[in-house]
Amino acid sequence: MKVVNLSKGPSPIALAIAFAIASSTALANEKNTETDDSSVEKITIVGATTNSFITPEELENYQANDLEDIFRSTPAVTVGGSLGIVQKIYVRGLEDSMVNVTVDGAPQTSTLFHHIGRVSIEPELLRSVEVQAGAGEATAGSGSVGGAIRFKTKTAQDMLKGNEKFGGFVKANYFSNSGHKESVSLYGKVTDSVSVLASYVNINRDNMEDGDGKKLEGTAADQTLAFVKLNAELTDNQSITLSYENRKEEGEFAKQTNWAPLEGAPLFSSWGERETLVLNHTWYLSDLVNLETSLYQTESSFKRELYTWDASIQTTGFDIRNTSELADHSITYGIEQKNDKVNAQSYADFGGVSDEEGTVTGVYAQDHWQITDDLMLSAGLRYDAYELDHVAQEANWIKVNGEWIVETDANGEPISTTKAFSIEKQDGFSKNLGLKYSLAESLSLTVGYAEALRGRQVADAFTAGDIKTVNEHQAPEKVENTEFGLEYNNGTWLFEASVYQSVINDIVFDKFKGREGVLYENIGDLQSQGVELVAGYQGDNFDVLISYNKNDVELNNTSFIWPDANSPTGFKTVQFDGIDLAAYEYAGLGNAVGDSINISLNYEINEQIKTGFNFNYVADLNNIEVFHRSIELGWASKLETINKPGYQILDAFVSYEPTDNLRVDISIQNLLNESYRNHGSVGDYGNIAGYAMVKGIKEPGRDIRLSVSYQF
């Protein structure tokens, strides 16, 4: 919601971190400047009125447990999937694969399996969440064609009170629908300048029930999270932060994990894990040198018993940026690089190993120029270069002493064939320009235009093995985003109106072509346009925020090759505009969502008790035309339509703090016990003959959550 302001051996990242720690004390200086971990730009103009900031207090009030809980009241964001491991984020209708998602500066990239999500985070540990909707300023990161989401985790300093040297936090949650959660955190100062936070979270969920009382099979899961974060104030103006996170999730899920399994359909054991190591260094020397450095390594994996298939993605990289204050200018400039390595293996059923490695290098500069007291101009430029290599090995696998190995011939040579190709470097410049003008006291106008470029990314690991050849004609995606915003904010009343249009030209899709496998192609132009309206009031002990969001996301200028008995070739080319995106056919691109209204209210009864509610109304979205691609593949003979029924969700909470150390929370999710399928999930194709199995998992019904926490 908007705040009413008022692999083996030392890896390259490990070596870089060791070097940074060893050498950082050489940068000591005398300037006394407050240090923090706010490594993102301090000012944003392009898209300012549609950007959002989520606080830990909001997450705690409603006992946030997953991504949908985190973004419940963020107008531009929809989260579908119900089950944690399959949840996908949609920003203005665009899937999170087009959004630069980072945790403490470490990107969460690519997809292990297109039927699961790629973003996972524990709300318990979040210090803040920032959402930049749509392509924005040059500092947003490489490939941010759909925007950026920045998760930032807590530090020991966030937990310690006053002059405390050591403390702890224990918390137990009970969910009536259906499970429990326990967490414990210990934090303290090792020395006056070094502090440590260590947390462990355990979640056990049984199969949930929807609003009709029907059990949602395949939604039971166990999750654990281990987190350690070390902060060191090296000098008065220099600090370093090192964090490690290990997140695991396992359960028995459907074959297509984000679809609701048919009655009696088998479930398959699956295991997901993510391990992240991040080093952040800040050095505030002078007006000219405000240096921020991030080094990171993230490794994600997913295994399932079905098809004896497993995959992993390793992301390693850095971002080095400096901000210089020159007269009326604040200029941020830097260099970043990210390397993704995807590995997918399948044994008995398919037999093959696929590897892809992609690297993107970017340099950027963003200037904020305070021309007058009333007028600020923002201008930025970045250059990105993408490179990618693909190697696929088809092999005969046999099991020896319980382990899968590649079968060899009489000479001991592996029985396999290898195909390899490289994508020619895709590069280019992206520019942005914006202004903010104060029309009157508390009233301002913002105008922004931004471009972003994205070259070929590493494939989703499950798909990588089906890529048979390189598309030499594939062009990089280029987005143009235009926004207008009007804001009134006097510290008590807030009004905002925003209009935007974003067009991603030459959108790339991993198009399945039957026996030909998967080929990455430019299939048209993807347009997302809409309106956001926000009104809010903040009093001494009461605040309310109302938002309206209208977004249309559609595919234009695209063509399909359909069978045609009257054509000499037996086929015809059909051109389309205005195709509403449906997640079943366009996974990885986006998902159409109905208009929505959100009302959030908080009331502080006294110093010990506060209460509030959040109401979300989503309108019907009917007659979505589907099967354009299915006709091309010969899976269907005509276009069909599906509907997405609307829904209204009411959540409420009461928080009671009898002492400074003890807190009791009761929250009720889906108080009205609505039976619904989130518009961010796969739609319901059950009305179409032969497609009864294609439907996303429904959301859980009423869930009463009780939480007791004690801080010592």
* Lowest mean per-residue pLDDT among 6-20, 32-46, 112-126: 6-20
Question: Is residue 75 in some structural domain?
Answer: yes
Question: Is residue 11 in some structural domain?
Answer: no
Predicted confidence at residue 279, as pLDDT, reads 96
Burial class of residue 163 in the structure, from the number of CB atoms within 10 Å of its CB (0-12 exposed, 13-18 middle, 19+ buried):
exposed
- Taking the complete model, does pTM exceed 0.85, yes or no? yes
Report the candidate in 341, 334, 335 with the shortest Cα–Cα distance to residue 298: 341
- Tell me how far apart the alpha carbons of residues 551 and 618 are, in angstroms, rounded to a whole number: 12
Question: Is residue 8 in some structural domain?
Answer: no
Could you list the beta-strand ranges (E) of 285-351. Answer: 290-304, 309-326, 329-346
Question: Is residue 16 in some structural domain?
Answer: no
Report the candidate in 510, 506, 484 with the shortest Cα–Cα distance to residue 497: 484
Predicted confidence at residue 107, as pLDDT, reads 87
The answer to whether residues 359 and 384 touch, using CB atoms and an 8 Å cutoff, is no
What is the H or E stretch that residue 546 is in?
strand 542-556
Could you list the beta-strand ranges (E) of 605-674. Answer: 609-618, 621-626, 640-644, 647-656, 662-669
Q: How far is CA 333 from CA 279, 328, 330, 646, in A?
A: 19, 16, 10, 45
Question: Is residue 103 in some structural domain?
Answer: yes
Q: Give the number of other Cβ atoms within 10 Å of residue 272's Cβ.
A: 25
Tell me: the pLDDT tens digits for 122-180? 888 898 888 888 888 999 999 899 988 999 999 998 888 888 899 999 999 999 999 99
Q: Give the number of other Cβ atoms within 10 Å of residue 589's Cβ.
A: 24
AA letter at 124: E
**Cα angle for residues 465, 521, 342 (degrees, 5° grid):** 35
Provide the 8-state DSSP code for 305: T
Report the candidate in 155, 153, 42 with the shortest Cα–Cα distance to residue 105: 153
Strands 329-346 and 542-556, how do they pair?
A: unpaired
- Tell me how far apart the alpha carbons of residues 93 and 71 are, in angstroms, rounded to a whole number: 14
Predicted confidence at residue 319, as pLDDT, reads 96
Predicted confidence at residue 349, as pLDDT, reads 54
- Tell me how far apart the alpha carbons of residues 343 and 348 are, in angstroms, rounded to a whole number: 17
Could you list the beta-strand ranges (E) of 134-267. Answer: 147-153, 166-175, 179-189, 194-205, 221-235, 238-253
- Tell me how far apart the alpha carbons of residues 245 and 200 are, in angstroms, rounded to a whole number: 10
Q: How far is CA 299 from CA 199, 229, 259, in A?
A: 20, 18, 26
- What residue has token string 């994990």? 257
- Tell me how far apart the alpha carbons of residues 543 and 469 are, in angstroms, rounded to a whole number: 57
Concatenate the DSSP letters of all residues of 365-426 into one string: EEEEEE-SSSEEEEEEEEEEEEEEEEEEEEE-EEEETTEEEE-B-TTS-B-EEEEEEEEEEE
3-state secondary structure (DSSP) of residue 40: coil
Report the candidate in 242, 305, 310, 243 with the shortest Cα–Cα distance to residue 273: 310
Q: For residue 536, what is the domain's CATH number?
A: 2.40.170.20
3-class SS letters over 252-286: EECCCCCECCCCCCCCEEEEEEEEEEEEEEEEECC
Question: Is residue 428 in some structural domain?
Answer: yes
Question: Is residue 4 in some structural domain?
Answer: no
The rounded Cα 609 to chain-centroid distance in angstroms is 33
Predicted confidence at residue 58, as pLDDT, reads 82
Asked whether the predicted pLDDT for residue 654 surpasses 70, the reply is yes
pLDDT band for position 399 (50/70/90)? confident
- pLDDT over 70 for what percent of the chain? 90
Predicted confidence at residue 504, as pLDDT, reads 95
The answer to whether residues 266 and 273 touch, using CB atoms and an 8 Å cutoff, is no
Asked whether the predicted pLDDT for residue 3 surpasses 70, the reply is no
The answer to whether residues 137 and 186 touch, using CB atoms and an 8 Å cutoff, is no
- Tell me how far apart the alpha carbons of residues 59 and 128 are, in angstroms, rounded to a whole number: 10
Predicted confidence at residue 420, as pLDDT, reads 81
- pLDDT over 90 for what percent of the chain? 59
Tell me: the pLDDT tens digits for 107-123? 887 778 878 887 888 88
Tell me: the pLDDT tens digits for 659-690? 989 999 999 999 999 999 999 999 999 999 98
Asked whether the predicted pLDDT for residue 13 surpasses 50, the reply is no
The answer to whether residues 278 and 235 touch, using CB atoms and an 8 Å cutoff, is no
Predicted confidence at residue 634, as pLDDT, reads 86
AA letter at 89: I
Asked whether the predicted pLDDT for residue 44 surpasses 70, the reply is no
Tell me: the pLDDT tens digits for 320-374? 999 999 999 999 999 999 999 988 877 655 567 788 899 999 999 999 999 999 9
- Tell me how far apart the alpha carbons of residues 412 and 679 are, in angstroms, rounded to a whole number: 54
- Any bridge partners for residue 242, and if so which? 230, 279
Average pLDDT over residues 83-103: 88
The answer to whether residues 146 and 457 touch, using CB atoms and an 8 Å cutoff, is no
Tell me: the pLDDT tens digits for 615-653? 999 999 999 999 998 898 888 999 999 999 999 999 999
Predicted confidence at residue 464, as pLDDT, reads 74
- Tell me how far apart the alpha carbons of residues 257 and 304 are, in angstroms, rounded to a whole number: 11
Specify the number of domains making up the chain: 1
Domain of 112, in residue numbers = 21-711
* Lowest mean per-residue pLDDT among 12-21, 237-246, 575-584, 692-701: 12-21
- Tell me how far apart the alpha carbons of residues 481 and 502 are, in angstroms, rounded to a whole number: 4
Predicted confidence at residue 307, as pLDDT, reads 66
Tell me: the pLDDT tens digits for 550-594? 999 999 999 999 999 889 998 999 999 999 999 888 888 999 999
Tell me: the pLDDT tens digits for 424-482? 889 999 999 999 999 999 999 999 999 999 998 888 877 777 777 778 888 999 999 99
- Tell me how far apart the alpha carbons of residues 225 and 347 are, in angstroms, rounded to a whole number: 30
Question: Is residue 9 in some structural domain?
Answer: no
Report the length, in residues, of the chain. 712
